[in-house]
Homo-oligomer: A and B are copies of this chain.
Amino acid sequence: MVSKKIKKALEGSSVIRAMFTEGKEMAKKYGAENVYDFSLGNPATPAPEAVKEAIKRILDEKDPMFVHGYMDNSGYEDVRQAVADNLNHRFDTHFDFHNIIMTVGAAGGLNIIFKTILDPGDEVLVFAPYFGEYNSYAANFDAKTVAVHPDPETFQPDLDDFAAKFTEKTKAVIINTPNNPTGVVYSDATLKAIADILKEKQKAYKKEIYLVSDEPYRELVYDGQKENFLTKYYENTIVGYSFSKSLSLPGERIGYVVVPNEVADADTVIAGINVSNRTLGFVNAPSLIQLAVAECLEEKTDVAYYDKNRTRLYEALTGYGYTCIKPEGAFYMWVKSPDEDEDRFVEQAKKYHLILVKGGAFCWPGYVRIAYCVSYDTIERSLPAFEKLAEEYQLSGK
């Protein structure tokens, strides 16, 4: 009936989406104010007013044939140049429009990158824990992901394990910093070490190995850290970006891919990504929203909003006795399950109307992810529930 792959996918479908659906049902049953849904990475701050103003201005001032019409599969040239200029002045890069392909979000971007570089049987290294959808994206092209272990204390990558996981089949490495689900930001030292290992492995295996940087949380960093951009560490780096978090537009499916000139055979890779965008069925990133984001590139993410949640939640949870990795970026907190059975812990949490996602969904059991991209009020009101849950597990609070 349905294809074998889809049959399998239906059996093990997205845990995050399932929790999101369950959260919505609990909200109907108990009232939204009595359910603390930490399941989904849906930004908690509205899109900046500038987005609305830009859309209205574009509709009023520009020809609808241009605004809603076909353009190059890679996007409007002016939009791509605006993105290049923005990156250049922020990160001292040297891109122009031809290095930029506008995409249907980062998920669309990663898929067209993978379609371009992966052959069946290829392996893609991923630093665990990681966004489980990467497995599906690699499987779309009959490639498979290979998990690299984290340092269990810091959740920075275990570099020895990284070096050990390369094989003849390794074609790409996915990196995601600031990280979903841990909130960890990979340090400069870590990134340099990763680049060194990659360079060495390219030589050893006599072929290109791509670093694919998934950067939806690029601007979400705390404690005065600077935003980072990874193309400076390693030549064969391809970036996938999304405006979902930075401009709070997750439903709009808008992002871009960057292929620097330093990538080997960059023009062929760019042409391949352009063709993949068309043949995989995206055709082009949605047109009106392309034009709108190009006018909002200087808009700032409301980092303070999430920082307030982060600080309150981290202090409260560690106070109750939970073991948490202190987030340095993104809007996730990675908490050790006090139950040896994390499924049971997630079920217990539900009794207190806390919707958490188990670490297994990120291919790293024994933890849960808390998406604290909710209102501060929700954080405050959820704390007694976390406290009761801690008491149930006899955690020793401060």
A286 and B253 within 8 A (CB): yes
From 234 to 285 in chain A, residues with beta carbon under 8 angstroms from any chain B beta carbon are: 248-254, 264-265, 268-269, 271-272, 275-276, 278-285
Instruction: Assess whether A55 is interfacial by the CB under 8 Å rule.
Output: yes
Listed stretches A136-144, A185-193, A198-206; interface member: A136-144
Instruction: Assess whether A145 is interfacial by the CB under 8 Å rule.
Output: no
Instruction: Assess whether A117 is interfacial by the CB under 8 Å rule.
Output: yes
Instruction: Assess whether A10 is interfacial by the CB under 8 Å rule.
Output: yes
Q: Which of B73, B119, B279, B282 sits near A4, CB closer than 8 Å? A: B119
B104 and A3 within 8 A (CB): no
B10 and A271 within 8 A (CB): yes
B2 and A117 within 8 A (CB): yes
Instruction: Assess whether A63 is interfacial by the CB under 8 Å rule.
Output: yes
B287 and A116 within 8 A (CB): no
A208 and B279 within 8 A (CB): no
Name which residue of chain B comes closest to A49, CB basis: B64
B68 and A284 within 8 A (CB): no
A251 and B46 within 8 A (CB): no
A-B contact pairs, 19 of them (CB 8 A): A1-B269, A2-B116, A2-B272, A3-B115, A6-B272, A10-B271, A17-B278, A52-B64, A55-B55, A56-B56, A56-B59, A68-B250, A70-B250, A104-B282, A110-B281, A136-B278, A137-B279, A140-B279, A253-B283
Other A-B pairs, 13, CB within 8 Å; known A6-B276, A14-B278: A2-B116, A2-B268, A5-B115, A6-B272, A46-B65, A47-B64, A51-B68, A55-B55, A104-B282, A108-B281, A111-B280, A137-B279, A253-B287
